[in-house]
C-alpha cells in the first residue's frame, strides 16, 4: 500500500468546471482549465484515456470527436470516419496534430474558439501548476475520471490495473495527490486505487435506477464522494450519503435553477459546463 502525503482539506462547497467548463471553452484543454481557475472554481474536472504508446491523455471520448475536431490539415472529419481515430490505436504525436478547439460546436454556441490540441495529463498539470504559481491564485483540486470500461479492455483501453498504474505514476510524480479525486463509472479502477492507495480520495459515478444503498454495496467500500447524475438526486439520496459520511456531488448541472435547487437541498458541490453560473 502506498500512502500519500496528507490530503488537503476539501472545499466546503465544491464548484467544479466540467471538462474545464465546456460551455465556455474547448473541453478538456489546458486553456479551459486556466479559464476555470480565473473564474474561481475550486475544482477542475477532466477525463482520461490511454494512447497507443502508453501515454495518459485528457479526452472524454475514446476517439478524436468529429463534433469539435479538425484533421491535421484543418479539414472536417467525414461522417464515415466518425470513430476512426481511436486514441488507444494512435501515438500521442499523431493525436496532437488534431485541432480540438477551432470547429464551432453547436451544442455549446458560447464556447470560445481557438486552435488547440488534446493535452497529456502530465503537461496539463505542469501548466496548471505553473499558472497558479505565476498568478498567485489558490490551489485547485483535480477531479480526474478514468474512462476505462470492462467492455473496452484491449480495444479502446488497457486493463484496469494498467490504466490505474499509468495514471497514478503521473499524479504521484507531479505531487498533486493531496488535491486529487479519482472518479469513475468503472468501479474496478477506484477499487484498485482504494486497495493500493487507500488515502487517495475516490468518487463513484453512477447513472442508473438503483438505490444509493444498492450502488454503494456493489462498490464494496466507502468512497469519499458519491457522484450521481443530478436527475437521480432526492432528499433521501442526500441523506443516505451524509448518514454514511460520504459527500454527494451531482453532474452535470447546467441551469441556474437546477443549481440553486440542488444547493438548497444540501449537496456538497456542483459539476457544471458553465462555471460562470456558479460564480
**Binding footprint of ligand G3P on the chain (CB under 6 A):** 18, 45, 47, 60, 145, 183, 205, 227, 251-252, 271
Comparison of 62 and 99: residue with beta carbon closer to ligand G3P = 62
Minimum CB–partner distance for residue 125 and Ca ion (Å):
17
Please report how close the Cβ of residue 60 comes to ligand G3P at its closest, in angstroms: 6
**In this complex, which beta carbon is closest to ligand G3P, that of residue 86 or of residue 94?**
86
Express the helix, strand and coil content of the chain in percent, nearest 5 each: 35, 20, 45
CB atoms closer than 10 angstroms to residue 38 = 12
CB of 145 to ligand G3P, least distance (A): 6
Binding letters toward Ca ion, positions 27-56, x by CB under 5 A: --------------------x---------
Does 186 participate in binding Ca ion (rule CB under 5 A)? no
Q: Minimal CA–CA distance to 106: which of 135, 65, 137, 78?
A: 65
Shorter beta-carbon distance to Ca ion: residue 47 or 61:
47
Tell me which of Ca ion, ligand G3P, none is bound by residue 146, counting a contact when its beta carbon lies within the kind-specific cut-off of 5 to 8 angstroms. Answer: none
As given in the structure block, the three cell numbers for residue 192 are 484498485
- For ligand G3P, the closer CB: 65 or 227: 227
Minimum CB distance to ligand G3P smaller for 58 or for 125: 58
DSSP at 120:
B
Helix, strand or coil for residue 165? helix
Q: Rule CB under 5 A: is residue 145 a binding residue for Ca ion?
A: yes
Please enumerate in sequence order all residues whose Cβ is within 8 A of that of 149, keeping only pairs 6 or more positions apart, or say none. Answer: 156, 157, 185, 186
| Among ligand G3P, Ca ion, none, partner that 186 touches (CB below 5 to 8 angstroms by kind) | none
- DSSP structure class, residue 102: S
H-assigned helices in 39-174: 92-95, 121-135, 160-174
Task: Name residues whose C-beta falls within 8 Å of residue 211's C-beta, 6 or more positions apart in sequence.
Answer: 240
Q: How far is the CB of 99 from ligand G3P (least distance, A)?
A: 21
Q: Which is nearer to ligand G3P, 13 or 115 (CB)?
A: 13
251 makes contact, choosing from ligand G3P, Ca ion, none, with CB < 5 to 8 Å by partner type, with: ligand G3P
Total residues in contact with Ca ion, by rule CB under 5 A: 2
Minimum CB distance to ligand G3P, residue 92 (Å) = 21
Nearest to 253 by CA among 60, 28, 16, 11: 16
**Non-local CB neighbours of 77 within 8 Å, separated by 6+ positions:** 64, 66, 69, 70, 71, 84, 85
| Residues in contact with Ca ion by the rule CB under 5 A | 47, 145
Amino acid at each position: 500500500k502506498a500512502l500519500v502525503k496528507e490530503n488537503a482539506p476539501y472545499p466546503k462547497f465544491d464548484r467544479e468546471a466540467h471538462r474545464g467548463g465546456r460551455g465556455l471553452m474547448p473541453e478538456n484543454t489546458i486553456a479551459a482549465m486556466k479559464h476555470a481557475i480565473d473564474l474561481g472554481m475550486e475544482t477542475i474536472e477532466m477525463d482520461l484515456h490511454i494512447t497507443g504508446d502508453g501515454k495518459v491523455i485528457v479526452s472524454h471520448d475514446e476517439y478524436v470527436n468529429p463534433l469539435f475536431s479538425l484533421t491535421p490539415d484543418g479539414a472536417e472529419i467525414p461522417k464515415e470516419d466518425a470513430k476512426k481515430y481511436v486514441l488507444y490505436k494512435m501515438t500521442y504525436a499523431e493525436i496532437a496534430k488534431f485541432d480540438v478547439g477551432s470547429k464551432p460546436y453547436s451544442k455549446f454556441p458560447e464556447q470560445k474558439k481557438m486552435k488547440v490540441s488534446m493535452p497529456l495529463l502530465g503537461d496539463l498539470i505542469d501548466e496548471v501548476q505553473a499558472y497558479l504559481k505565476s498568478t498567485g491564485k489558490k490551489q485547485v483540486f483535480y477531479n480526474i475520471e478514468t474512462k476505462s470500461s470492462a467492455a473496452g479492455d484491449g480495444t479502446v483501453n488497457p486493463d484496469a490495473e494498467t490504466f490505474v498504474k499509468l495514471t497514478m505514476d503521473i499524479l504521484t510524480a507531479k505531487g498533486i495527490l493531496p488535491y486529487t479525486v479519482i472518479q469513475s463509472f468503472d468501479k474496478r479502477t477506484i477499487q484498485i486505487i482504494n486497495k493500493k492507495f487507500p488515502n487517495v480520495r475516490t468518487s463513484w459515478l453512477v447513472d442508473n435506477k438503483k438505490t444509493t444503498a444498492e450502488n454503494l454495496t456493489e462498490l464494496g467500500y466507502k468512497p469519499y464522494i458519491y457522484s450521481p447524475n443530478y436527475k437521480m438526486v432526492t432528499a433521501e439520496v442526500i441523506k443516505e450519503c451524509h448518514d454514511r459520511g460520504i459527500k454527494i456531488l451531482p453532474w452535470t448541472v447546467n441551469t441556474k435553477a437546477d443549481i440553486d435547487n440542488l444547493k438548497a437541498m444540501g449537496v456538497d458541490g456542483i459539476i457544471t459546463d458553465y462555471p460562470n453560473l456558479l460564480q
